[in-house]
Amino acid sequence: MWPGSNPPSGPPPMGPGPGGPPWAPPPARPSRAGPSAGWYTLPIVFALVAVVGMAVMLALFWDDSEAASGPSEVGDARSGVSVELTEGRGYFLYVRDGASTPRSCTVRVGDASGPVRLTTKNSWAESDHQSYRYVGSFEAPVSGQAKLTCGGVSGPLLVTPDDTIHAYLGLSVLVAVLLGVLAILAFVFLLVRRGNARRASASASVPGPYPY
């Protein structure tokens, strides 16, 4: 210290503190292993709906499908068409191209006979028959071998069972197949996601070098 100089005020400067362990980031928190197991109920539900829905449709409409697969019959409109009827089932009527539309039709079974009401029910499902055109539908009032006659039209008359149920069953099969495909895709998707998540979690848990 030089003569006449004032001593420095304040505490003397401090040197570096004692050395400590190098800083390291906290360990990474393990990530979730993808979608939870509960998500697997989704493809299971899809598969169950497909199977149960198809089974219910077949159970409810099997008899209708059998009746709709019955034979078609052709005969003279005035003398009558011999046709096997099932009570409550629908039937389509066709006449030759260019022929007039029947005004009324009558069903005779044995000695009993009665009129049938012509409608256009399920006309969207009528089939194409060469040289014939659709003119109406009716519901069978009785079961058994019957004679169908129609007035207001001459020439051949074609009678076929109403097979609309086949369109509904076909749609049910299509929906069941789509649900089955969705179930498979969902199951594969969940397996892939969970596999990728497990691999990512395993990679994150391996300690790596940290800078000092």
pLDDT at residue 136, rounded to an integer: 93
Strands (E), the chain: 73-76, 81-85, 90-96, 104-109, 112-116, 132-139, 144-151, 156-161
Residues of the chain with pLDDT under 70: 1-37, 201-212
Residue 90 pLDDT? 92
Q: What is the pLDDT of residue 40?
A: 75
β-pairing, 104-109 vs 144-151, is antiparallel
Distance between CA atoms of 157 and 82, rounded to whole angstroms? 11
Residue 2 confidence (pLDDT): 47
pLDDT, residue 55, reads: 87
pLDDT tens, position by position, 120-147? 999 888 888 989 999 999 999 999 999 9
| β-sheet bridge partners, residue 146 | 83
Pairing between β-strand 156-161 and β-strand 73-76 as defined by DSSP bridges: antiparallel
- Residue 22: what pLDDT? 60
What's the pLDDT score for residue 139?
93
Q: So what's the pLDDT on residue 5?
A: 53
